[in-house]
A and B are shown apart, each in its own frame.
Chain A
Amino acid sequence: MPENSQYFIIAYALIFVLLALYVLRMCLQARKLRKRD
């Protein structure tokens, strides 16, 4: 493993986790709306 690789891994993992959380929030909101509809 190259030096300081942990920063690279954490940065990219965080990007995907935060994006996934935002998408999940939208999915939950859409499900709620479909139920009400």
Chain B
Amino acid sequence: MLSKNKWLSVLSVLAVLAVLGALALVIFYAPLELTMGLPQKIFYFHVSSAWLGMVSFFVAAIGGILYLARGKEVYDSLSLAGVELGLLFSVLGTVTGMLWARPVWNTYWTWDPRLTTMTIMGFTYLGYLLLRRAIDSPTRAARLGAIYAIVGFVSVPLTFFSARLLRTIHPTIFGNTGEKMVMTSPMYQTMAASIVAFTLLFVVLLWHRVRLEMAQRMLESEPEEGTAKHQVAKFDARGEEQ
């Protein structure tokens, strides 16, 4: 059921190499920022993680729309995988942000609009996973999950624009009106490499997760050997043969 996929294997190796390459650029190529020093280098993977978290939630919403429109299980799996990965990358973004904030803001946490909206977004999607576990019927869980993934996506632009539209101490790089972070070319190049590497990693993880979810659903639809359900199925199959 879980056959080898050559392209996925190649892409997985490429993703690992890309992330290690990006890490090498962060350590050896990106210059040391004058005022913040080494903790500023957390920024490269922090931005990539937070960005991929949001992209992931977007994928989850698209999966939800497609599931409602076409009713195929693969879209529900895509939505579920998107939420899971979105939470993983959002946690990475938040934790790295806290470690960057400690030496720069002198605190791990402050109820700044960006941090607050990020927390709301995280809890919104945690609710998605809890909702799915609370519903016994897979079809009902998929349908409600799809609606939740679409409605929950409202929290994503809210988080993205919070640092641009509201009064915040969180710096932005693109399209900002508030505090701008000044960056040199090697810094931009390192950031671009990190985002590309993380995007590749995200695609690979998403692909693996959807495949696993589909394989699990296929197995669960077949009754497990030795169980009463399996014996009934065997009995029915014999009956059909005769």
Query: How many cross-chain pairs have Cβ atoms below 8 Å apart between A and B?
Result: 75
How far, in whole Å, are A14 and B49 apart by their CA atoms in the complex? 12
Residues of A1-37 at the interface with B, using a CB-CB cut-off of 8 Å, are 2-5, 7-8, 10-12, 14-15, 18-19, 22-23, 26, 29-30, 33-34, 36-37
B92 lies within 8 A of A15 (CB): yes
A2-B38, A29-B216, A37-B1 given as contacts; is B45 within 8 A of A15 (CB)? yes
Report the minimal beta-carbon distance from A36 to chain B, rounded to whole angstroms: 6
By a CB distance below 8 angstroms, the chain A residues around B92 are: 14-15, 18-19
Residues of chain A within 8 A of B23, CB atoms compared: 12
CB contact under 8 A between A30 and B2, given known A12-B45, A14-B96: yes
Min Cβ gap B104→A in Å is 9
21 A–B contacts, CB within 8 A, in A order: A2-B32, A4-B39, A7-B38, A7-B103, A8-B42, A8-B99, A10-B99, A11-B95, A11-B99, A14-B92, A15-B92, A18-B88, A18-B92, A18-B95, A19-B201, A30-B212, A30-B215, A33-B1, A34-B2, A36-B219, A37-B219
